[in-house]
Every structure is written in structure tokens, then in C-alpha cells.
Structure 1
Amino acid sequence: MDRVAFATVAKLSGGLSPFGMAFAHLDWAAHMACSPGKALALWQLLLPGQDRDGTADPAGTDRRFKHPGWENQPYRQWRDQFLKAQAFWDQATRNVDGVQPHHLHVQHFITRQLLDTASPSNLWWTNPEVLAAARDSAGMNFVHGGLRMLADWKDLLAGDAPGTSPQALSAYRVGKEIAATPGQVVFRNELFELIRYAPATDEAWREPVLIVPSWLLKYYILDLSAHNSLIRHLVYCGHTVFAMSWRNPDAEARDTGLEDYLERGVLRALSETARGAGCRRVHAVGYCLGGTLLALCAAALAREPRQDVRLQTMTLLAAQTDFSEPGELGLFMGTSAVAFLDGLMWQQGYLDGVQLAGVFQLLNARDLIWSRLVREYLLGHAQRVTDMMAWNADTTRLPYRLHSETLRYLYHGNDLAEGRYCWRGAPVSLSDLRVPAFVVATERDHISPWKSVYKLHRLCAQDLSFVLASGGHNGGIVAPPGQAHAQFRLAQRKLGQSYRSPESWMARTPIRPGSWWPAWEAWLTAHSSVRVPVQAVAQAHTLCAAPGTYVFNA
């Protein structure tokens, strides 16, 4: 009965906890009422003359106000007052003594979302860029914007996200324009298909590469268009690549949990990869939560000396192992929030991909919601569909038990980092890791903040190469050579070297222009043994051609 009640409220609140948000606001408001010094300092921010050039954004970093028309009156006045109010509330929801840190972060996030809705850039009559476009096009920008709004409403009524109808995404078809690297499915069970991609060279490195994607997304984020495919890049560098393609679960898989994804997922994939490649050692790569699962697996294997399959190296892409500071995604992981979300998932048997996508959009609402509204509905600019957008629209579901255990054990309890997560009757400790690691984080990651990813330095003492790449959670990882403005930092921590804080690491690590992919491939090569002739997969061992069948599960 309790779960039904929680699920009912969660449906009305979009899966969020209204009580958690209310308690956060009360905690903040009560302590602000007892902080006259803080209040006085805040009100001084609104006084004239508090900034050198008359604006609250002297560096001009807010992209909403880049158009030169914002320098004219009255738009300049509206912009400056908004930016001052934004600076006021930003400081008002930081460093308030006595407030629980989680409550303060929730209050800061909610306040920012409300402010973003009130930006003068969102209204056509207060946005000089929109008015200039209306003047130059005789108002046709509103006509084009209205047609796009109508098309988005049709997408919503059809159950699709705006701009993701089959017609809009027809230029990127799975298995044709994206997920098109030639390969064969060589294994399948109820959780995943294993796809083998043969090297595009006469000789290949003996140790194969196994890619473990997150269960939050379709695997082909790493096999988009030919120029954006990390898998294609690897096979052309002479690596045999295996990739897991998770099955899109339904309500029948509700009791499939984290241990199942470890035992019948990653461990089985490692075994099948080693068998298919004829080599006991494997380079393993994990992306996002797939990386978390891989790290858990690697630590578990380290205490099993008789395992038939061993890891040659471990690469983690935008993957957290310590969830004590998970960024803004952690705002939805409080005790109350987890209880409401758990009730919703329990009733459905899974978490729907559309619900999950809504959370990710909310984390970056300024760019993903409001900027899109202005660009398409007010300016009338056509949205250019990309391979990344087509992939992002291909949502997945999460089994109830898997997602519930992920929230409770990883995000909320941080059991992996603190050595409390148990497998086969014994706790798993990341300090047992015995393989060289290559860890990639991205500068603007709302899902796996780079300082959170960096925490692996404190959890294991092995050789660890750490990359901080430009871009966000997906764009920073899908960063092929030749991409404009790409850059990264790379430094290696050798076994036995002392720990450096993330701030110190950044200050001492120079920026390198270009993609991090070649640097990683060189690292893989340095940790590989010998090159051997490429062997084709026997026809009897193939089930079907890539990208397989699970990727098409709706």
C-alpha cells in the first residue's frame, strides 16, 4: 500500500519528491532568517557600482546575451538586472551556515531553474536578437517557429521526444548510417549480445578490446557515423573489438539486479571475448555506469587468482567509482527522492527511458530546453539533426531491481567506494585493483563530474593515466581526431607516487590540442604484447550481422 501511494505521488511530480524539495527549502529559509550578516552582504550585491563595467557578467560568459543588440537600451538594462538577480540568488543559495549540504544544493538547483525561466532572452518582445530577426524576415521567423512548435506537439502526442520523430531522424538509421561498422554477433543471452569487430588490418594486437556500455544507453554511442565511431577507429588501428549490446528490458525483467549484470553480464562477456579471441587477457573499456560495473568486476577478479580470464588493462570513460559527490544528478538521490522513485519503478517494473531523459534535460535546462525554445520557436532556425541526436532519442528502459540497487548501493550508500558492496559473500574493495588504468573525464559533465571521476586516485594505488577532455558527458568522449577546438590534459600517476588534489593536478598538467583518442590508443598499444595474423570468425560461431537484434528492441 505504501509503495502504491508513493508511486501515485511520483507520477504527479514527475518522479521527484515534493517533500524532499519542501524540506530543503524550509531548511534553507530558516537558516537564512538567522543570518543577518549573510543577508546584508547579499543586498549589497544589488547596489549600483558593484561591478566595474556596469554589468553583472563582465566577462560576457553567458551565451544567452552574446548578440550585440543586448548592449542597447532598454535591453541592456533588462539584461543587467536579470544578471544581478542571478548573482544575488547564486550567492544566497551557497555557504549558508547550518543548512544540510544536500538541502543547500537542492535549493540552489531549484532557484537556478526558476531564474532561467524568467530570463529576458526567453521572450520575443524583450530579446533584441528575436526582434532583429523579425524585422529582417518580415515576421517569417515566427511562422517557421510556429510550424516547428506544431511538429513538436505532434511528436509528443505520438509518444516521441520533440524533434525525434522517425521522419526527423530518417537520415540516421541504425545499421545503415550509424552503428554500421562491420561485425558479427558471436554470443547472446537474456541480458546482452556480444558483437565482434574484426581489425581492418592484416595483423592485430593479440589482446582484444571489450567495450562495456552503460545500461542507461544504447551501445552505439561509441559507433556513430563513420567519422565519429570510436569502434571504427580502434579496428583501423589493428585492434579486435568486442562490444556488449544490452537488451532493452520490459516489466518481465523487473527482478534482474546489479549482481545479474555483473555475473551474467560483464563476467560472461569477458569469458566469451577471451574464448572468441583465443587469448586469456583482455583490454576492458567501460563507459559511464558500464565503467562503474567494470571497476567493480575488476576489483572482484583481483581477489580470484584462479580466474581463466584476466584483465590486461582497464579504461574508464566518464565513469564514477566514488559517488559521494555525484554532481547535480545526486540532487535526485536523497532518501526521500529514492523512496518515491523506487515506488514508481516498483509499480511499472522498470524506469522508462522518457522519464530518464527528462531528468537529464532538467540538469542542463538552460541549453537543452530554453536555448532550444529561443533558437527554434522564436528565431525560427531549423534544428540540424546529428548522429548524436538520433542516438539520444533511442531511449532504453531499466529493470526495477537494477535501478533500485544502483540508487541505494552506489549513489545513495556509496558502498563500492567504501568497501561495503559484497559479491560472492565477500566485500569488493577497489584497493585490490591490480591492472593499469586509463581514466577519462570531461570538463562540462553534468552526470559524472570530473572531480568525482578523479576520486579513483584515492581508491587504488595502481598506475593510473588520467585525461581531462574538453566537452560534456557524451561530446567529450565522442571526440575523434580532426574535431575543431578539441583539447585535453593527460598525466600519469605511477605506482607509489603521492596523491595530488584535482586542483593541483589541473594546475600542473598542460593542455594538449586535439583528440585524446590517439593518446589512448598509443597507451593500449604500449600495454599490448605482440601482433598476430587476423583470424576471421568461423561462420558457425556467428549468430547474425552487427548491430544485432537487441539494439532494435523498442
Structure 2
Amino acid sequence: MSDTSGNDKNKDPGKPDDKADTPGWAGFSEKEFNALDKVSRNLMQASLKSQHLMSDVMRKAIEGDPVLPNADPFHSAPEFQEVWAKIAEQPDLMMQAQADLMKGYIDLWSNTTKRMMTSDSPTTPAISPEPGDKRWRSADWSENPVFDAIKQSYLLNQHFMMGLVGSVDGIDERTKRKVEFLTKQMTDALSPTNFALTNPDVLRATMESQGENLTRGLQNLLDDLAAGDGRLALTQTDTDGFKVGRDMATTPGKVVFQNDLMELIQYAPTTESVKARPLLIAPPWINKFYIMDLREKNSMIRWLVDQGFTVFLISWVNPGPELKDKTFEDYMHEGLFAALHAIEAATGETSVNAVGYCVAGTLLSSAMAWLEAEGQSERIASATFFAAQSDFEKAGDLLIFIDDVWLKEIERIMDSQGGVLDGRSMADTFNLLRSNDLVWSFVVNNYLLGRQPQAFDLLFWNADQTRMPKALHLWYLDNFYKNNRLAKGELELGGHTLDLGAVKTPVYIQASREDHIAPYPSVYRAARLFGGPARFMMAGSGHIAGVINHPDANKYQYWTNDALPETVEDWIGGASEHPGSWWGDWRAWLFDRSGDDVPPRTPGDGKLKAIRKAPGRNVLVRSDAKPSKSTEPEPAPEPAA
């Protein structure tokens, strides 16, 4: 169908007209277009696509599109005004910061002059990057005196800004943390690594390709903007490089139960006998479960099955607007408790060893307190928590997003999306916590160097985000992050005020030393809330690699301490370091709580019949695809309780 102007609405604006001699694409015939050099063709295609995209963005802005970002998405202007007003009231702080900055520049100028005059003259940098800062990996940043000076000048200015904000007095701690975080975001964005004229790698690529890297990068940028309908949907990996169920999430098993919120997968045994007590894993509903079954060589699920456990796993639904009113309590009853009933029907066992990862760990601890209040604590014989918080007093940088103004903004966004928070919004939030690694490195790679991201299984999973129901998400943020009601003993759920101190169930609590989502000081506080025996263990690396660390990889380390002193600093002081994966330590702890050996259980052989093969259907529903009836679970018979 064509409009009255004769332009085909369905035609790709990046392709020339099919008629060779008729001006149909920016005034060029196909023959003339092909006669241009490659760089010019790329630039012209990008130019036309840019015009088309900007027209679309402007139209949405005029129409008041609620999804497009506003000028102050964090509503931080009042906090910045308060902090800088206080800085202005403290002249000693400003004078000292300026003196330190001037001294740094004098040292930098002196050292740079020496290097320019005498190339082999040894110098001491005025300032050095923090360990692990990957932005400066190129040898030019240290070997070339010009780029070394640019690097140090930037670091001195960043140190000056962060020092002022971090040292100011008379500011509420949460306000200061918010301004520090956002100041860091702004200074990271201004890094010379992020600009073509001050990045030696980009300059070299531009000269070698005669600018083709920049035209390819512009095309990549426009593609990402188009994919996000005006919002930048930053591509981190080749999303066509893997397929769930073929390359990952391949451990054999069957879906044996399902309802509106989840599929329950039972994995096929690989040993001659299994432990009597089943293992139930509840992954976070903000991600897909296959981070624990990523590839065969690093699959936790496959490893657990090979140790002789009967493994059940909840695969949460990727909710659409029809589930916007599902609550935290619904996830407890229709998720965890429905799984307990189904496992009893499948195996005859009335209790399980349960695992909760991240937010599902918060659900698990709340459910245990609810079962205790109901007199049914025996349904969960032991609980393991991966990177999970039950006390949110020290929940890290995510706390800066939680205030009344921001909660209203989140609610507005979810209302505009039909009552769910889209996966991209959550991904953007988590990416900001490590912006240099998860944002700016890809800006440089994709847009300045003009490269396509490589296929990487972990980043493929990271890009496969899930939606969240409005009722669940707002309740979770308000009760846990904002008010910390569970740790305070104030959380009311299902007719009970929950008390973790009354829970006597043995718990194993894993934290990671470099976790930026569930910081280990926060996770440690949860270990001291339970009334029963608690084993706290800290692994190397972060929120994902600290948990998913197969023993065969021989990577990282972990720390153990049988004591549970008042502070995590005292715990670290008395801890012992062990090389490699912590999974063996956890396996020994689980074996003691798993009962005798029994014959292996094949999925579908019990009272619950197999519905479909693992990994099931829920995990295949992508958030960047519109929900449809075809993605809704089929009805299944209720399990015998």
C-alpha cells in the first residue's frame, strides 16, 4: 500500500529504488548509488535512516509518548542543588580540593614535559586508574605521552568532582549517595575513551579504514535507536548466536506441572541412585532461569543432577498485561507452595531442600517465616540462598532509585506499558551499576569502532530480560528496599506478621565479594536474622560468576568461617580462603540434609505426568516480542496433595 505522495510505506529507507535509471533513493538511481565508494554509501544510508528515525522520535515527543525518557529521569535536581549549596558553604573544603587539583596538574605538566623532552626519562604518574579499570587497556594510554596526559587530566578532574561530593558535610547519607552515584555516571560519560578524537584505538581504526568505522558505527547507533523506538537499545551481543533449548538450557528433563505463574521442571536422573529429599530451585523472576543451565560445561543444574540430587526448578512466566495484578503473595502460593505440592505428588516426599536466587531468595525467606507461623515449617527442611537479601539496610546503589518520587515514576512507566515493567527498563538499571563495563565499552565498540558485538552466552542471557507485574514490583520495592519491613519484623503477609527469628530451619547463605546488586555486607546481615543454624560463605567475583562457578573451571576462590560474629568485617578476619569453586562445600552441606539413597526418579513416572520437554515454554517468551495467546500455558490437572 502506498500513500498519496507515491512513497511506499513498507519500503526500507536504507535501500535504493529497484529501477536502475529512475531517481528513487535520495535522488540517486541504483546505478548511480552503486557507483559511490563504500564509505559514501554507508554514510548516505545512515543519513536517510537518521532523518526517518528523528521524524518518528519527534512525532512521539509531540504526541506525548510516555516511554521516551525525560530530561531528569532520576528526579535528582533537588539533591544536586542541596549538595552543591552545602559545598559552597564550606570554603575550606573547596580550597583544599582546588589545591590538590592544582598540585596534581603541576605534577602532570612537569612529568609530561620531561617525557616529551627525553623519551626515556622515568616519571611517576600524578594519578593512576583504579585497579581493574579496563578503559585504559590500550598501550597508547601509558606509552604515548600525549594520551597519557589526556588520561591523567581526566582522572584528576574526576577525582576532584568525586572528592567534593564525597567529603561535604551536613547532607543526608542517602542524598549524598545518590549524588555521588549520578556524579560518577556523568564523569564516566565524559571519559576521553568515549570520544573519537581522544581515543587512540578509534583514531587508528579511522585512519586505517578511511572513516568506514564511523559510518558503520553510525548505522549501528541508528539500528539500536530504531530497535528501541527512540530509546537506545544498546546491543551487547549477537542475539542470533544462540538459541535457548539448543545451545543453552539443554539439561534433559520434563515440565511436570504448570499454572499461570510458572512451569515446574523435573530433571532426568544420571546416577544409579538419588538422594531421597528433592532439591527445589527458585530462580529470580527478573531473569530467565537458564543462567543456571547456560552451557553444558558450566551448568549448575547438570552438575547437581550428576551429584545424585532429584532436581526440580521453577520456570517463571514472562508476564504480560493480563498478569499485572499478580502479587508477591501470589508468587509465594502459586509459585513456591504449588511447587511443594507438585513435588509431593511426583515423589511422595513431604519436604524439600529449597534454593532461592536473588529476589527469589527474599521470597523464600518470607515463605519460610509464613510456614513457621502456620506450623508447617517441616515442608522446607533446609534453605540455600544465592546472592539474596532479606535485610536491605545496606542494599547498595540500588537504594538510590527507591524513594517516593521514583516509585511514582516507575508506576507511571508501568501504566504506560499495560501494567508491566518491560525487561529493557530493568536491564538499563542494572547496566548503570557497572556502566563502564556494560554501557560505555559497547558504545566505543559498536559506535566508534564500528564493530558488531560477538556472540557471548552470558551477555545473550543478560539481554533476555523478563517483564514484571505492577502489583508485585511496586510492593517489593516499597516493603523491602524502601522500608526494610522483613528485617524489622514488620512485614505482614497472608494474615501473619513475619518473624525470621522464629525460623529454625538450617540455612546456607552464599554471597560474592564483588557483587554490586546484592552486596556481601547486606547478605551477611540476613544470615544473622534466622533463628536456626546458619552457614555463611563468601565467593570470589560478582553476582553471576560468583554463583555460577563450575568446579572444572578452576577459577576464583571462596572463604568460610564457622563462626557468625556481629559484623562481616569480623567474619572476614577469621575466615579461611579456599581455591576454586564453592560448590563442593555446598554439596557436602546438602548431603547431610538429603536423607538416604533411593532409586532414581524419572520425570513423568509419578502421579504427575510429563507435559512437555525441558526447558519448557515460559523461558522461550522474549520481552521484546509482544505477548500473545500462543505463549500462555496450557491447563494442567492439579497435583494430588
Give TM-score scaled by structure 1 length.
0.90
Q: Does 1:332 align with 2:401?
A: yes
The verdict on how the C-alpha distance between 1:159 and 1:68 changes in structure 2, with shifts beyond 3 A counting, is closer
8 Å Cα contact 1:255-1:400 kept in structure 2: yes
Paired with 1:65 and 1:188, the residues of 2 have a C-alpha distance of 50
8 Å Cα contact 1:55-1:83 kept in structure 2: no
The residue correspondences of 1:58-457 to structure 2 (distance < 5 A) are: 61-71=132-142, 72-134=144-206, 142=214, 145=217, 148-149=220-221, 152-153=224-225, 155-156=227-228, 161-163=233-235, 168-306=238-376, 310-347=379-416, 348-380=418-450, 382-457=452-527
Paired with 2:449 and 2:571, the residues of 1 have a C-alpha distance of 42
The verdict on how the C-alpha distance between 1:538 and 1:121 changes in structure 2, with shifts beyond 3 A counting, is closer
Paired with 1:157 and 1:344, the residues of 2 have a C-alpha distance of 15
Which segment is superposed worse, 266-275 or 176-185? Answer: 266-275
Q: Deviations over 1:468-487 (max 9, x none)?
A: 22222222222212336422
For 1:546, the equivalent position in structure 2 comes to 614
Name the SS of the counterpart of 1:527 in structure 2. coil
Paired with 2:383 and 2:251, the residues of 1 have a C-alpha distance of 23
Paired with 1:310 and 1:188, the residues of 2 have a C-alpha distance of 20
* Superposed displacement of residue 240, structure 1: 0.6
The verdict on how the C-alpha distance between 1:451 and 1:211 changes in structure 2, with shifts beyond 3 A counting, is same
8 Å Cα contact 1:151-1:163 kept in structure 2: no
For 1:4, the equivalent position in structure 2 comes to none
Name the SS of the counterpart of 2:102 in structure 1. coil
For 2:111, the equivalent position in structure 1 comes to none
Q: Does 1:42 align with 2:110?
A: no
Paired with 2:603 and 2:159, the residues of 1 have a C-alpha distance of 60
Q: Does 1:32 align with 2:78?
A: no
Paired with 1:297 and 1:268, the residues of 2 have a C-alpha distance of 12
Which segment is superposed worse, 91-100 or 312-321? Answer: 91-100
* Superposed displacement of residue 83, structure 1: 0.6
8 Å Cα contact 1:155-1:162 kept in structure 2: no
Unaligned runs of at least 5 residues, structure 1: 1-7
Name the SS of the counterpart of 1:266 in structure 2. helix
Which segment is superposed worse, 466-475 or 298-307? Answer: 298-307
Q: Does 1:533 align with 2:599?
A: yes
Name the SS of the counterpart of 1:87 in structure 2. helix
8 Å Cα contact 2:509-2:527 kept in structure 1: no
8 Å Cα contact 1:287-1:316 kept in structure 2: yes
Paired with 1:203 and 1:14, the residues of 2 have a C-alpha distance of 59
Aligned residues: 539
The verdict on how the C-alpha distance between 1:14 and 1:448 changes in structure 2, with shifts beyond 3 A counting, is farther
Q: Deviations over 1:35-77 (max 9, x none)?
A: 2232223223202259893332276543212322122222111
The verdict on how the C-alpha distance between 1:151 and 1:483 changes in structure 2, with shifts beyond 3 A counting, is farther
One-letter amino acid matched to 1:116: D
Paired with 1:212 and 1:374, the residues of 2 have a C-alpha distance of 37
For 1:482, the equivalent position in structure 2 comes to 552
User: Which of 1 and 2 has higher RCO (CA within 8 Å, sep 6+)?
Assistant: 1
Larger Rg over CA atoms = 2
Q: Deviations over 1:235-272 (max 9, x none)?
A: 01111100001111111212111111112221221222
* Superposed displacement of residue 383, structure 1: 2.5
8 Å Cα contact 1:16-1:340 kept in structure 2: no
The verdict on how the C-alpha distance between 1:479 and 1:238 changes in structure 2, with shifts beyond 3 A counting, is same
Name the SS of the counterpart of 2:240 in structure 1. coil
8 Å Cα contact 1:16-1:337 kept in structure 2: no
8 Å Cα contact 1:286-1:317 kept in structure 2: yes
The verdict on how the C-alpha distance between 1:89 and 1:511 changes in structure 2, with shifts beyond 3 A counting, is farther
Name the SS of the counterpart of 2:487 in structure 1. coil
Paired with 1:22 and 1:61, the residues of 2 have a C-alpha distance of 31
* Superposed displacement of residue 381, structure 1: 5.0
* Superposed displacement of residue 344, structure 1: 2.7
One-letter amino acid matched to 1:310: R
One-letter amino acid matched to 2:165: T
Paired with 1:380 and 1:247, the residues of 2 have a C-alpha distance of 36
The verdict on how the C-alpha distance between 1:408 and 1:16 changes in structure 2, with shifts beyond 3 A counting, is farther
The verdict on how the C-alpha distance between 1:16 and 1:427 changes in structure 2, with shifts beyond 3 A counting, is farther
One-letter amino acid matched to 1:57: S
* Superposed displacement of residue 142, structure 1: 4.7
8 Å Cα contact 2:74-2:401 kept in structure 1: no
Q: Deviations over 1:188-217 (max 9, x none)?
A: 111111110132101001111101111111
* Superposed displacement of residue 133, structure 1: 4.5
Q: Does 1:56 align with 2:127?
A: yes
Unaligned runs of at least 5 residues, structure 2: 1-63, 108-122, 623-641
8 Å Cα contact 2:265-2:615 kept in structure 1: yes
One-letter amino acid matched to 1:337: W
Q: Does 1:508 align with 2:574?
A: yes
One-letter amino acid matched to 2:235: G
Q: Deviations over 1:437-489 (max 9, x none)?
A: 11111222221111111111331243222222222222222221233642222
The verdict on how the C-alpha distance between 1:522 and 1:248 changes in structure 2, with shifts beyond 3 A counting, is same
Name the SS of the counterpart of 2:553 in structure 1. coil
8 Å Cα contact 2:315-2:619 kept in structure 1: yes
Paired with 2:612 and 2:587, the residues of 1 have a C-alpha distance of 29
Which segment is superposed worse, 286-295 or 125-134? Answer: 125-134
Tell me the percent identity: 34
* Superposed displacement of residue 11, structure 1: 4.0
* Superposed displacement of residue 18, structure 1: 5.0
* Superposed displacement of residue 275, structure 1: 2.9
The verdict on how the C-alpha distance between 1:371 and 1:101 changes in structure 2, with shifts beyond 3 A counting, is same
Q: Does 1:523 align with 2:614?
A: no
8 Å Cα contact 1:155-1:163 kept in structure 2: no
8 Å Cα contact 2:280-2:312 kept in structure 1: yes
8 Å Cα contact 1:199-1:237 kept in structure 2: no
Give TM-score scaled by structure 2 length.
0.79
8 Å Cα contact 1:171-1:177 kept in structure 2: no
Name the SS of the counterpart of 1:199 in structure 2. coil
Which segment is superposed worse, 122-131 or 184-193? Answer: 122-131
